[in-house]
Chains A and B, each alone.
Chain A
Amino acid sequence: MSINWELVWSSLGPLLTGAIFGTIPLALASFSLGLLLALVVALMRLSRNRLVSAVARTYISVIRGTPLLVQLFVIFYGLPSVGITISPWPSAIIAFSLNVGGYAAEVIRAAILSVPKGQWEAGHTIGMSRRQTLVRIILPQAARVSVPPLSNTFISLVKDTSLASLILVTELFRVAQQVAAFSQEFMLLYLEAAVIYWVICLVLASGQSALEKRLDRYVAH
């Protein structure tokens, strides 16, 4: 099999454009919103109020128990039948944020629980309220613990954004499909797309190490 280098080269521009203006902003926006949501859900889940906790548990269960593709389709193709029409980009961001919110909530909850009880007590004895202790003492320590698993969530999300091609969002994989259909070079284009995803994830993984190193400065090695 000979490689059509000319096509590799000429398709690189459109594919990278798809990554830079589709995949990456989609992942960043969804992850940011998803993390905020996850923090709220994690705190709800930890709440002593049983109803609040049950709502959070149900949400997490639904998100984790149903396929992302189905969630995406319900929002984009399903909701119009009840009169709610959302265009491709917002649909994708909503679906991915909700998804991250469910998975990351469990990560954040576990990270909060991993901080020793004595830290809460130390915060209380110097006069801090629950909220102050949470924000100033507990969450910074939980952040360190949650970086590796949250990085996993983020990396998964970057790859999952390819599903947005199925609801007409112009991102990396949708561009690859279009060029492949036009040139009939399926193997080449899909492998090229795969390499670009891989490179993005490599960059993210190195960002993860840098962040871990920074947050580890106060921990014995």
Chain B
Amino acid sequence: MSPTEPQPSDVTVPDEPLLTVTGLRKSFGHHVVLKSIDLEVRRGEVVTLIGPSGSGKTTVLRCLNGLEVPDAGVAEFAGELTVDFATPVAKKQVLALRDRSAMVFQHYNLFPHKTVLENVIEGPVQVQKRPKADAIQEARDLLARVGLTGKENSYPFELSGGQQQRVGIVRALALRPQLLLFDEPTSALDPELVGEVLAVIKELADEGWTMVVVTHELAFARQVADEVIFMDGGVVVERGHPDTVLRDPREERTRQFVDRLLNPF
């Protein structure tokens, strides 16, 4: 790997916690979405959040990326950044938290008026002020790795959903984040396109990237995740190794949810 490529989180210290969140709480008006969530993500670890819609799993991700400001809770990042969301300064610190992670959206949210290459270099060049030539070279390398060589000058509308989502992933990687956040990255895709996107995410996991993935793909979670967290009604119902949570859950609610996903009829 060339030195210009983004380095996945340091795999030599896999046990060190990268992100620790405690007591995360968020309401929209009178509706309490997150009641009190604790979360620990170690370097190089893949954590998947599963649960019925409305369980709050997407809100957790959005809080980690500063798209929502939680009402309470503390986030500690790699021992160097601590954000107490209950304090008034949290709003500014949330931006620091955002700098350390990158988000991949369910609906890709690519910039439709920019080409694939422009989408990818926008953050590195405009925000991180890296030299444009370097950013372009890195973008080309990353696009090649996800099989999108030759699409640099295409506009998003010219790509399939799977290709668009792979661009979305590359756009996140190009920011050289320490933590990747995936918000149901395959939920908007046609079934035959899901595999190509999951394959890319799995490859990144194998390379040692640290990631939090909200997903309904249980087979993917079982294969890739180090920890599965089942959420319902704004609380963590059960967490643990995928083999336990997905095959032999302790909680009845988890069992029902997993059964329903595996046997929809």
A37-45, A101-109, A125-133, A197-205: which lies at the interface: A125-133
A-B contact count (CB 8 A): 57
Residue B126 contacts which of A122, A124, A128 (CB distance < 8 angstroms)?
Answer: A128
Please, which residues of chain B bring their CB within 8 A of the CB of A144?
113
The contact of B99 among A127, A219, A220, by CB within 8 Å, is: A127
The segment from B101-109, B189-197, B224-232, B255-263 that touches chain A is: B101-109
Q: Within the assembled complex, what's the spacing in Å between the Cα atoms of A136 and B122?
A: 9
Given contacts A125-B67, A125-B103, A217-B155, contact A132 B113 (CB under 8 A): no
B175: chain A residues at CB < 8 Å are 126-127
CB of A13 closer than 8 Å to a CB of B: no
Inter-subunit contact B157/A127 (CB<8 Å): no
In the complex, what's the smallest C-beta–C-beta distance from B136 to chain A, in angstroms? 16
- Please tell me which one of the listed residues B65, B112, B126, B156 contacts residue A125 in the complex, with CB atoms under 8 A apart: B65
**B113 contacts which of A122, A124, A140, A220 (Cβ < 8 Å)?**
A140
Q: Does A121 lie within 8 Å of B67, measured CB to CB?
A: yes
Q: How many of A's residues come within 8 Å of B, CB to CB?
A: 20
A218 touches B66 (CB 8 A): no
Measured in the bound complex, the distance between the Cα atoms of B156 and A217 in whole Å is 11
Interface residues of A in 133-178 (CB under 8 A from B): 136-137, 140-141, 144
Which of B103, B112, B155 has the most chain A CB atoms closer than 10 A to its own CB? Answer: B112
In addition to A119-B109, A128-B126, 12 A-B residue pairs with Cβ atoms within 8 Å of each other are A118-B109, A121-B67, A122-B110, A122-B111, A124-B98, A125-B98, A125-B172, A126-B102, A127-B99, A127-B128, A132-B126, A218-B113
Shortest 6 CB-CB contacts between residues of A and residues of B? A126-B123, A127-B127, A122-B109, A118-B109, A220-B157, A125-B103
